[in-house]
Structure formats: structure tokens, C-alpha cells
Chains A and B, each alone.
Chain A
């Protein structure tokens, strides 16, 4: 597609449930990033994929968070046993290896 696509745009879930967030990057972009943005905060890095290399998971806040990228394209971020502090906007971005990142619209996650 023309840009980075994320789904769903909004997700409300009950505390303790698992959620999956999807990101479809720009075709041909080898790098894919997940960030989260909380109210009044900057962007917090979560995980980075680059080509076929092992992902950089250094930003994941706990072992409840995981992500995969299938076939070097679509990525799924999974949050298990969601907590209220997980409520945020989850942003996906993609780029060529050295270029500026292009962001999707984000998924607004609300844990109630």
C-alpha cells in the first residue's frame, strides 16, 4: 500500500485479556519499528526488525509483550494478560535501512 497500515485503529479490552495489533509496512521497507505513545509522553521504543536479522527487543517493557514479523513484511505485536498501564497508542513505522521512518496511524489501546 501507499503507507503504513495498522489495525485495529481502536481496541478496548478487559484487563487480563490478550490483544494482537497488526502492522502492514510500506512495501520494500526492510526496517520495521514498534513504539508506544502515552498521554503527555514521547515515543517509547519497543522493538525493531531489520531484514532477516534477529529483532532488537530491548525496549519491550515486560515478557507479556512479544512481536513477530512474518516473511519480512507484516508484523504483529501481542500483549498478553493486559494491564491498565498498557493503555496507550501503539505506533508502527517502517523505513529503508537508513532513511527516515514512516509511521502508521496507530492503534489506540484501552484496557478497562
Chain B
């Protein structure tokens, strides 16, 4: 069955610390990969996506993610977090053929202390 796993459920960092959130997927065939962010009281927003090509994807607000096919991973990174990055982060995957329905991980709650 298709699934997405996020290893860290809660992460607490101080401002300027580096961030890496893990995401692994289990899918047959090729996949599209996404990271979404949900700021407190706001709706889910797309941070970045990978469809094909360069496995290092850059998104908004200084975030990036690297697709490592051999590890079935798509980890999210940011070199220096800010208090405003406090949010819930969701990794998602969908098949490149068929229905394209994204499957989401359970999310990682990130709290950044000023």
C-alpha cells in the first residue's frame, strides 16, 4: 500500500538553528513529492514539489528538499530557521500515473523559539 512516513512528530529549535525533517515514502513506480506547510490558523500551503529532473528542489521561504531515490526519501531542509517558521509540516506523495491522489504523512510540528 502507498504510504508516507514522517519520522519527527515534534521538533523544537532555536532561531538560526538548521532544520531537517525526514520523509520516506512507499510507492510502486515513479512518484511526485510535495511538502506542505500549515501556519497556525491558516490553510495548507504548498512549500515545494518534485516531479522530475534535479533532485534538489528549492521552494519558498528558503526551504529546500532533496529526493534520494535509493532511500525513498524526500527530506526538507532549511539552513537557518526563524520564529515565523513555527508551523505544521506535511510531506505528501502521489503516483505519476493514474489518479494523482496525494497521500500525506502525519505531519511534523515545528516550534521555533526566538
Contacts and interface: CB of A to CB of B under 8 A. Distances in A.
The B interface is mostly helix, strand or loop, or mixed, namely loop
B104 A101 contact: no
Contacts of B34: 100-101
Contacts of A103: 36, 43-45
A66 B32 CA distance: 28
Interface residues of B, number: 22
A43 B101 contact: no
A104 B105 contact: no
Contacts of A35: 104
> What is the interface residue range for chain A against chain B?
20 to 34
Query: Chain A interface secondary structure, helix, strand, loop or mixed?
Result: strand
B39 to A, nearest CB: 12
A98 B44 contact: no
Interface string A33-44: 101000001110
B46 interface: yes
Interface in A26-78: 31, 33, 35, 41-43, 45, 48, 50, 56
Given A103-B43, A104-B43, A105-B43, A42 B99 contact: no
Most chain A beta-carbon contacts within 10 A, residue among B44, B90, B92, B104: B44
Closest 7 CB pairs of A and B: A42-B106, A103-B44, A43-B104, A100-B46, A105-B43, A100-B49, A42-B104
